[in-house]
Amino acid sequence: MMTKLDSPCRILLLGGTSEATSLAQSLAGENGMSATLSLAGRTANPAESPLPVRVGGFGGVDGLTEYLTRENIDLVIDATHPFAARISNNAIAASAAAHIPLLAIERPQWTPAGGDEWSEFDSIDAAIAALPDTPQDVFSGLGRQAIPALGAAPQHRYVIRVVDASEPPASLPNATIVAARGPFRTDDDLELFRKHHISHVLAKNAGGSAAYSKIEAARLLGIKVHMVRRPAITPRSTVASVEDAFAWIKAHHRRCSERGV
């Protein structure tokens, strides 16, 4: 009979970010670890994963607790986006209910540098409402889920960057959709902003390097940035990098094996 000592460490990796993809690559080659990557299913063509992937919501805290118990999960790693607050808070509650340790990878936030012209807001709606009343040329880096909110200020000409190509909604008569997946380059964003005469950038304070190019390009061109602050997430154990998360998992796995739990 297999005991806990020789059974693999079962990990649920909540993903949807470049950090999750990178951690999946590290975990895939590790002996004694059996990890599953979980995606919400928001994008049509997610990045390839070397780990088994499950797709779709769990059904709130109760559904996730049930999944953790049923699948004998030993560790939960939350590598979701800093603005994915619901799944992060659900994961905290569910892992506590199932008595399973949870670690989150939390990218450091961006902070304004010399030359940046930022205004900060607590919500996407507030960042949009603070645009001038007169029509402007606005780049939205807020993602697809924020497109309906732009309808509150339909007078602007929008350039909206999303992962999956789609038609602009009828509520935004002057919108252009640019489908692209990060990491993005500052030179490309400079060209895009110049081409569309961008006057304002709408951004979420995601942190990290993959989406920072728009902030850098705005600084170089003297463009105003309306920055949405991160949503609140219940305090939890965090690390700032994939490397630290991997080290934490290995240390945790070693301790579990030594104790035979």
Q: Using CB under 6 A, pick the residue from 19, 22, 27, 58 that binds ligand NAP.
A: 58
Q: Using CB under 6 A, pick the residue from 21, 22, 38, 140 that binds ligand NAP.
A: 38
59 is an interface residue for ligand NAP by CB under 6 A: yes
Q: Using CB under 6 A, pick the residue from 15, 46, 141, 208 that binds ligand NAP.
A: 15
Q: Using CB under 6 A, pick the residue from 22, 36, 80, 205 that binds ligand NAP.
A: 80
Kind plus residue range of the DSSP H or E element containing 38: strand 33-39
Binding mask 153-192 for ligand NAP (x = CB under 6 A): ----------------------------------------
Q: Using CB under 6 A, pick the residue from 9, 40, 92, 138 that binds ligand NAP.
A: 40
Evaluated on CA atoms 168, 170, 172, 175, the torsion sign reads positive
Angle of helix 85-97 relative to helix 60-70, nearest 10 degrees, comes to 50
Which residues within the stretch 192-231 sit at the binding site for ligand NAP (CB under 6 A)?
204
Query: Rounded to an integer, what distance in angstroms lies between the CA atom of residue 116 and that of residue 221?
Result: 10
The least CB distance from residue 178 to ligand NAP, in Å, is: 16
**Closest alpha carbon to 155 in 168, 169, 140, 172:** 172
84 is an interface residue for ligand NAP by CB under 6 A: yes
Q: Rounded to 5 degrees, what are φ and ψ at 8?
A: -70, 155
Q: Distances in Å between the alpha carbon of 209 and those of 93, 113, 188, 216? A: 30, 15, 15, 11
Q: How many CB atoms lie within 10 A of CB 51?
A: 21
Q: Of 41 and 173, which has the nearer Cβ to ligand NAP?
A: 41
> What residues line the site for ligand NAP (CB under 6 A)?
14-17, 38-40, 42, 57-60, 63-64, 80-81, 83-87, 90, 143, 204
